[in-house]
Chain A
Amino acid sequence: MREFDWVILLLLVMLLTCGIIAIYSASTTQIGNDFQTENYYLKQIIWIIIAFIITFLIIRTPYSVIEIMIPPAYIISLILLIIVLFMPEIKGSQRWIPLGLFNFQPSELAKLTTILLVTKLISKPHITNWQIISRSFIIFLIPIILIFLEPDLGTSLCLIVSFFVILTASDISAFYIILIISPLISIIASFSLIIFIIYILILIYILFKTNLDKIIIGFAVVLNIFFFLITPFIWNSLKEYQQNRILTFIDPMRDPFGAGYQIIQSRIAIGSGGFWGKGFLMGTQKNLNFLPEHHTDFIFSVIGEEFGFLGCAIILLIYFLFLYRIVRKINMLKRKEFRFAAIGILAYLTFQIFINIGMNIGIVPTTGIPLPFISYGGSNLLINILAIGLVLKFLNERSIFE
């Protein structure tokens, strides 16, 4: 294989290794002088091997073949997302299709196929701005809604972030992106009049700078003021428990017996790790009853507790080098759809890392997103490795189009 990027692969293997070690520790309990370990780490190794075999096959498959498979793969993802809504609830949501040996999570597959389909469609030549926006909007919206219904807020947010990042990266002018995002900011800003006025002034200034038609600018401003006015009205019409749910999402400390407790326990675990950590298998906080996801969503708290600041910094460094290397390589991709797809994948991986670690240290709301390559979890791990496999394939293929 020509020009295969071994550095990315090496960094990936390092992350996976850290993951296996952390999972081993997270699923070990110490009672007195007695250790007991569940076999999650073995399952993780099997998943990694399966993922690498599939990735190897994909890299060997000509891209033209993969390209033909993208639309059907997207359709299949949507069908699976509909099927999953009829599956029995596990922990209050319907995210998994039980397949005997393991539970398959279709939203993970949908994440990848959606990005691939959108980037394929918006990379066609002679495409207008509105075509890019409308196509990507519709293709993203269907899976986002279906995933939101499960409910799986975390994965929906991942897709929304990928959508905006791909739009930003594509050739459309910044105005459209501002136009799409601005009502969201208006809604948030509507809770304070002063902040909203400052925001509207900045918005008008930016829009004037883009030298656009005054009618369009006027429309955008009116739209934002409309959202500003309607939000308090909608908010007050919500039932108290609905308001509470939203407030708890923004500030988990409002819920000391649920999300807030999880975050506090996770902070205690990480904070008590100090600089050097308590040592492998020596964590005391990992088996708190309120942190049942310690080998999945809260694995970072185990790393923080047992390997300390040093361990956390090393993990952050590997992640950073890994993602930074991909960003630099994206620069070299000349084929648009490869570039967009790689940026989309990069965006959601970065988002997941930020949200998961942020949740563990209590700086972002709890959403139930696993830590890429490190958390235990079949579907998520498989799809993330495949996504990196695709990026490697794009990098590998670039020479043909140069």
Chain B
Amino acid sequence: MLEIRNLHAAIDGNEILKGLDLTIKKGEVHAIMGPNGSGKSTLAKVLAGHPDYEVTAGEVLYEGRNLLDMAPDERAREGVFMAFQYPIEIPGVSNAQFLRLAYNEKQKHFGRDELDPLEFKDLLKERAKVVEMDASFMTRSVNEGFSGGEKKRNEILQMAVLEPKLAVLDETDSGLDIDALRVVAGGVNQLQGPENAIIVVTHYQRLLNYIVPDFVHVLANGRIVREGGKELALELEEKGYDWIVKADLQGSGAAAPAN
């Protein structure tokens, strides 16, 4: 589904990603872990097409197409969804209005029927159950005055409505208490299936107790320096990141996996 080859990306001229390789197949859940500043969030933003980041080398193939050639909204309509670490507030625009527009854009894109407000309301009601969200959130402005937990739930609700093929969760666990974490993770799990894939970007192992990854990749200094199964996350929880980062520096990249 997704193939990243030798990806280099920079912001304001500073290179953050320095040759990243990653392959993701349908049905898989991948966790990207790493210390602060390792480039985790950069990867998520580059996949979504954030304009501040410049891809300086490498390629990203999404379902065989060059993802980097696609505008951010086109990527979204084609099924790439990013749950933002800091969801944006949009005053005066109601959640329902916003979601219906996004939903119908996608419907239009695939030549399917658009939903009128009433039909959409039913859909929204059903999907809102996934994240245990109250109906009153639908009439409120997008993320305005939402608590941290409500914002994150709203992200997952959007994911439930837009049904992405590839979901990238950027530090979705940050700032969540354990109950909210359970709800958010539960929502993500319900949306996971054999036809789609999820990338969970996180600093802590905590979230991975709820969303169990098939693969764990450790990112340091702009590259993936170690890969393993879910047990790697537990090992990181116990030993921290230092030993991997150090091993990487000593082995000057020898720790990078043979693919």
**Do A and B actually bind?**
no
Chain A contacts to B: CB under 8 angstroms: none
